[in-house]
Structure 1
Amino acid sequence: MKNVLILYYSRHGATVGMAQHVARGVESVAGCEAVLRTVPEISEVCEAVADSVPAQGAPYVSLDDLKACDALALGSPGRFGNMAAPLKYFLEKTSSLWLSGSLVGKPAGVFTSTSSLHGGQESTLLSMMLPLLHHGMLITGLPYAEADLISTQSGGTPYGPTHVSGSDSARPLTDEEKRLCFALGKRLAQLAHKL
Structure 2
Amino acid sequence: MTGHMHKLAEAVCEGIRDAGCTPRMYRVPETLPEEVLVMTGAKAFQEDFLKIPEIKRDELSRADAVIFGTPTRFGNMCGQMRQFLDSTGGLWKTGGLTGKVGSVFTSSATQHGGQESTILTTQITLQHHGMIIAGLPYLFEGQSKMDEITGCSPYGASTITGSAGERMPSENELSGARTQGRYVAEIAKALAPKRDEILKIFSSC
What range is the shorter-chain TM-score in? 0.7 to 0.9
Separation of aligned partners in 2, 1:80 and 1:37: 24
Deviation for aligned residue 1:55? 4.5
Separation of aligned partners in 2, 1:98 and 1:64: 12
| Unaligned residue ranges in structure 1 (runs of 5+) | 1-10, 45-53
Q: Aligned residue for 2:177?
A: 181
Q: Aligned residue for 1:193?
A: 189
Separation of aligned partners in 2, 1:119 and 1:86: 19
Identity of aligned residues (%): 36
Separation of aligned partners in 2, 1:128 and 1:151: 25
Q: Deviations over 1:72-98 (max 9, x none)?
A: 100111000010000100000000000
Separation of aligned partners in 1, 2:174 and 2:48: 22
Q: Aligned residue for 1:96?
A: 90
The CA RMSD measured in Å over matched residues stands at 1.3
1:129 aligns with one of 123, 134, 139? 123
Deviation for aligned residue 1:120? 0.6
Q: Is residue 2:65 matched to residue 1:71?
A: yes
1:169 aligns with one of 165, 169, 183? 165
Separation of aligned partners in 2, 1:70 and 1:190: 11
Q: Aligned residue for 1:19?
A: 9
Moved over 4 A (4+): none
Deviation for aligned residue 1:170? 2.3
Q: Aligned residue for 1:6?
A: none
Alignment check: 8 A CA contact 2:98 2:129 kept? yes
* Structure (1 or 2) with the greater helix fraction: 2
Q: Deviations over 1:28-61 (max 9, x none)?
A: 112x1010000122148xxxxxxxxx85331110
Separation of aligned partners in 1, 2:32 and 2:134: 32
2:75 aligns with one of 71, 76, 81? 81
> Structure 2-normalised TM-score?
0.82
Deviation for aligned residue 1:103? 0.4
* Structure (1 or 2) with the greater strand fraction: 1
Q: Deviations over 1:108-143 (max 9, x none)?
A: 110001010011111111121111000000001111
Residue identity opposite 1:71 in structure 2: A
Residue identity opposite 1:17 in structure 2: K
Separation of aligned partners in 2, 1:72 and 1:43: 24
Separation of aligned partners in 2, 1:99 and 1:123: 27
Task: Report the structure number with the largest CA radius of gyration.
Answer: 2
